[in-house]
Structure 1
Amino acid sequence: MTITQKKPEPALKAFVPFGEGPLGRLGRVLRTDSLAAVGIGLILLMVVLAVFGQWIAPFPEQGMGQTNISQRNLAPGALHWLGTDQLGRDVLSRIVMGARPALTVSLFVVAIAALIGVPLGAIAGYRGGWLDEVLMRITEVFQSFPPLLLAMVTVAVLGPSMTNAGIALAICWWPWYARLVRAEARSLRDRPFVEAARAMGVPTWKIIGQHILRNCSTPILVQATVDVGSVILAAGSLAFIGLGAQPPSPDWGLMVAEGRGMVLTSWWISTFPGLAIFLATLGFNLLGDALRDYFDPRQVKR
């Protein structure tokens, strides 16, 4: 008699119910927090304007600085929805064309600040000792100055331009990432999985990269998202006082400065660019709050 062996049944794959995965969790955040949806919508609008601005703007040549003196200081109407400025340039076109430099500079500043601050904070928090003391004292020197004041001094030395304003803001912003990552690294360096990796002889650089920085990614992402909006506001402030973008660049802060002297007679020249700065900053702050709620494992199901 032949004995036939029963084939083993294939292992059942883990089934994640609909609504319990990352997409479902993100959907719950958007359903329960309408402000998060508003923030995402504002960011998407800014990205669309930055990418397709030259095709969206009604008068792209005016958006880049071409003047039309015969139509100066026109109130909002059918042809110029947001009016024209003192040089006859369409305000809506300049706002649309200004989305790209605003987004580009803010992303550049946040990226440079993170590239400087994150490694320094991770090394200081993980190694501790004299290295931690030296790096943190350097960080505190930069933090002892008000960020905008330090940026103003740096731009004054380098010369007023959008590029120099971005460099100055990056110099002001990196200490916050160093402090954030250092605090996270200090709490992670004594965890069992880090001690196990250290006992197995894993190189220090690999522990920092795979165990420390990977577990710091969530607070870094949330902070970076919020900082993009803050940098847009700071860059606009530098342009407002003449230390950022220079005419005829379509910079929102510069547009506010150009219309401040006529705010009572031609209020639209400075009001609408200021509103653009407000909405961009608000959108990134709301998106940062949504990301924090999305990545927080302690969020309960609603």
Structure 2
Amino acid sequence: MADLITDDKPVSIDDGRSHRWENLRRGVYRFRSNTMSMLGLSILVFIFAVAILAPYIAPYPKDATTGVNPVARFTEPGAEHPFGTDRIGRDIFSRVLIGTGLALKVGTTIIVLATSIGVTIGAVAAYFGGWVDELLMRFTDIFLTVPGLVLAIAVT
């Protein structure tokens, strides 16, 4: 019978946690060393900061919703109104800043809604399969064949 070779080193059970942390550290390093990734992250942070701080940094926050100033109609861009004013005298720069937050809220809501609908349809199709899968996929194909811009024009 063959002799068994024993080692005095303790046996370590690797549960994968150290490997996951190493992969995460490596991924963060690769992300941070990529110039385009950092540029994209900087732009996103800037947009979210503007959206959150818009009521505090907008020069005329009331102009975004209720402000009417007939004296300042169609003012050209300048120091007082960086983007000028519209036909009823509202500051366009303030409206853009306030609108950033609204656009992010609408976009996030649409992403969550579309993801939940897609996951539900996919889960039902995967669970039942067969004719239910075919029916749901043909229904999805109908929506994919209609271009979004044409649909938006038809709705409005």
Q: TM tier, shorter chain?
A: 0.7 to 0.9
Structure 2 counterpart of 1:101:
102
- Tell me the distance in 2 between the aligned counterparts of 1:42 and 1:143: 30
Structure of higher RCO (CA pairs closer than 8 Å, 6+ residues apart): 1
Aligned residues: CA RMSD: 2.9
- Tell me the distance in 2 between the aligned counterparts of 1:58 and 1:27: 39
- Tell me the distance in 1 between the aligned counterparts of 2:17 and 2:147: 52
Structure 1 counterpart of 2:65:
64
* 1:183-222 superposed matches below 5 A: none
Which of the residues 22, 25, 28 maps onto 1:26? 28
- Tell me the distance in 1 between the aligned counterparts of 2:101 and 2:119: 26
**SS of structure 2 residue aligned to 1:83:** coil
* 1:252-271 superposed matches below 5 A: none
Residues 1:125 and 1:12: Cα distance change in structure 2 (over 3 Å): closer
Normalized against structure 2, the TM-score is what? 0.76
Structure 1 counterpart of 2:5:
none
Question: Does the CA-based 8 Å contact 1:57-1:63 persist in structure 2?
Answer: no
- Deviation for aligned residue 1:119: 2.2
Structure 2 counterpart of 1:147:
148
Residue by residue, what CA displacement relative to the aligned partner does 1:97-116 show, whole Å, maximum 9, x if unpaired?
Answer: 00111111111111111111
Structure 1 counterpart of 2:49:
48
Residues 1:23 and 1:72: Cα distance change in structure 2 (over 3 Å): farther
Q: Which runs of 5+ in 2 are unaligned?
A: 1-8
Normalized against structure 1, the TM-score is what? 0.42
| % identity of equivalent residues | 34
State the aligned residue count.
146
- Deviation for aligned residue 1:72: 2.2
User: For the pair shown, which has the larger CA radius of gyration, 1 or 2?
Assistant: 2
Structure 2 counterpart of 1:38:
39
- Tell me the distance in 1 between the aligned counterparts of 2:142 and 2:110: 20
